[in-house]
Amino acid sequence: MPKLCDSCGKGPVFGNSVSHSHKASPKKWKPNLQHVKAQTPKGVRQIWVCTRCLRSGKVQKVL
């Protein structure tokens, strides 16, 4: 599964998970990507889109 939204380019964010003893360990937050059929300039395609783009209407799903 790709890690980038085809509409806005949103990808994973890196940081640290900090425990109670303040020991930091690497962590990755991934975007919520959905595989949807959408209308694109090249026609109807299945693309990976984040839920924010779906919700805001940047991408039109095809039935």
What's the Cα-to-Cα distance from 22 to each of 16, 18, 25, 27, 28, rounded to whole Å?
10, 5, 10, 14, 18
Q: How far apart are CA 33 and CA 54, in angstroms?
A: 10
What is the percent of the chain where pLDDT is above 90? 90
Q: What stretches in the chain show pLDDT beneath 50?
A: none
Name beta bridge partners: 43.
40
Domains and CATH numbers, the chain: 1-63 (2.30.170.40)
- Write down the pTM of the prediction: 0.80
Please give the pLDDT value at position 11: 96
**SS3 call for 13:** strand
Task: State the pLDDT at residue 1.
Answer: 64
